[in-house]
Amino acid sequence: MGDDQDKQIIANDMAQTLNVADESAAHDAIAKKLVANKAILAYILKYSMDEFADTPLKEIPKCIEGKPKISKIAVMQDHADIEDTDGNEDVEVELLEADEEENGKLSGSRRIEGSSTEDKSIREGSIYYDIRFVVRVPKDGTLVEIIINVEIQKNDTPGYPITKRGIYYGSRMISAQKGTVFTGQHYEKIQKVVSVWICVGTAEDRADSINEYQFQETCRHGEYKEKTENYDLKKIVVIRLGAKGEKSANPMVRLLSKLFSRTISKEEKIEMLPNEFNIAVTETISQEVDTMCNLSAGIYAEGKQEGKREGHLETLRDSVKNAMESFHLSMEDAMNGLKVTQEEQAILRKML
């Protein structure tokens, strides 16, 4: 086989890999859009923050202020943020919200501000928060602002501890406040930050769990105690879903697990939102669920096909090695005797 044919085989393999990567990136982008709907964020806030524990779900979307961002705020301060390019849809959203609230549903129209083409967030050399926004919560008769970051992860074992990355993101959100939230020595103005990590795939023994990490005071000597608000400035929440999460007693875990499930159909997901979680389904939400389900199916099928192909090649490799050792054959004679195709021979030469 000539060099040109070898190059073509390698090019085909690369193209297949890139296609799966493109579909995966598109899936990630649509997942962020779906989670950024304020009705879904309301569940996340209620079941991951003490500040919203006693707030009715229907009231929580009203606490999200300003124009929070999807994949637009850079984690590193020396990297540029992405400018907003969206059109103004306020009038349409207000009409939809009024209709949904009249029918007693959590509004499915309210969304975190995001870029019109999510692939803009995939930029070499820059890392962006998946979803970032500010909430205002009543405390001691005043409204206190808290900065929220929500990250969506395929699994909870990406090669490093999720908790450490969460602590880093939380620290970045605090340090980034200097020069914006406060200047000079006015550290009393630092706002609390919460970084929430949603891990879709996880081992069964870790599934259906919520863990949080935050500062606590330990009085080693004496009786003095600092005011909680002076050190309760950073919290990391790790939510692990998994298949077990679909039957969770926790409404947030159950909602997210079902939304990301590969076994629940898009029709079932659309039906469960209003019936089980009291979330109004807009055309936008319906399209996002449909797109995410289609992309999930494509990625899953590609993954299974690629896995079968790798398994087949590994079996062929072992057969060729056994034939070479048992019958003292050259690699070429062994592959020809086993009727290995020319394409597979080119790959096996690199494996043997």
The pLDDT value given to residue 92 = 40
Determine the angle formed by the axes of helices 283-327 and 266-277, rounding to 10 degrees: 130
Digit-coded pLDDT (tens) for 293-318: 876 654 444 444 555 566 677 788 88
Residues 6+ apart with CB under 8 A from 112: 36, 37, 38, 41, 64, 68, 69, 70, 131, 133
Higher pLDDT, 114 or 319: 319
How far is CA 30 from each of CA 37, 87, 114, 121, 309, rounded to the nearest angstrom?
Answer: 11, 19, 11, 12, 29
Mean pLDDT of 225-242: 95
The pLDDT value given to residue 282 = 84
Give the C-alpha separation, 51 to 138, whole Å: 8
Arithmetic mean of pLDDT over the chain: 79
The pLDDT value given to residue 218 = 95
Q: Are 240 and 209 in contact (CB under 8 A)?
A: yes
For residue 1, is pLDDT > 60?
no
Q: Which two tokens stand for residue 31?
A: 């997942």
Its pTM stands at 0.70
Higher pLDDT, 141 or 182: 182
Q: Which two tokens stand for residue 335?
A: 């592959």
User: Which of 103-107, 137-141, 160-164 has the weakest average pLDDT?
Assistant: 103-107
Digit-coded pLDDT (tens) for 71-84: 667 676 656 666 66
Q: Are 295 and 30 in contact (CB under 8 A)?
A: yes
Q: Domain boundaries in the chain?
A: 1-25+283-352, 36-281
Identify the CA nearest to 263 among candidates 239, 281, 279, 245.
245
For residue 331, is pLDDT > 50?
yes
Residues paired with residue 113 on neighbouring β-strands, in sequence order:
69
Digit-coded pLDDT (tens) for 107-124: 665 554 432 223 333 344
For residue 19, is pLDDT > 60?
no
Give the C-alpha separation, 352 to 349, whole Å: 5
Mean pLDDT of 214-218: 94
Residue 70's pLDDT band (cuts 50, 70, 90): confident
Mean pLDDT of 261-279: 90
User: Which of 7-16, 69-78, 229-238 has the weakest average pLDDT?
Assistant: 7-16
- Helix-strand-coil percent breakdown of the chain, rounded to 5? 50, 20, 30
Identify the CA nearest to 192 among candidates 49, 47, 76.
49
Residues paired with residue 20 on neighbouring β-strands, in sequence order:
none
